[in-house]
Amino acid sequence: MRRALIVVDVQKDFCEGGSVPVKGGADRARAIAGLARRGAGTKYAHVVATRDHHLDPGGHFSDHPDFRDSFPVHCVAGSDGSEFHPHFAPTAASEAVDEVFYKGAHSASKSGFEGSTAAGTPLADWLRARDVSHLDVVGIATDHCVKATALDGARAGFTVRVLLDYTAGVATDTTTAALQELRQAGVHLTGNPVVLA
């Protein structure tokens, strides 16, 4: 069994002070950095991270967002808000993180499995090439991109668990619904998500 840690979208725009802030995001960024550093090469065969990387995602950006399918402008490629949060950035730049997967250039692309490396390798292919079978998913936000990544991982045949102590949710109702959807898909859940909305 080879297990990988997937760190989802721990970016400035999704933490306090960003354009689409999730309360508790900065605290989770710090906790995730510690988890990645401790687990790299021991608990985890690989640690990878995803990043929203929007160029022109169409209706995903809206002046009147519903905060479910449409959002204010965020994580525009090359912008400061698209960068990893400072609590996580040093870890992402270190040997603890093996690869970064960019998603959403021209679409919403909530799932990390819609992302690829800078060289174009999709996440699922990258993991399978390294004989990874089990995934731990953490990051922001529990009820959006973390959920989508975990669900797609399970659909792709990986054994998936979400470490809720290392996630932050946007709202109580959508997080509760997301957890139910994950359970029904066979995703194992541990801990409790941070929901401060």
Which sequence positions are flagged as catalytic?
A: 9, 103, 145
* CA triple 178-103-60, angle to 5 deg: 65
Give strand pairing partners of 5.
47, 136
Exposed/middle/buried for residue 107 (C-beta within 10 Å: 0-12, 13-18, 19+) = middle
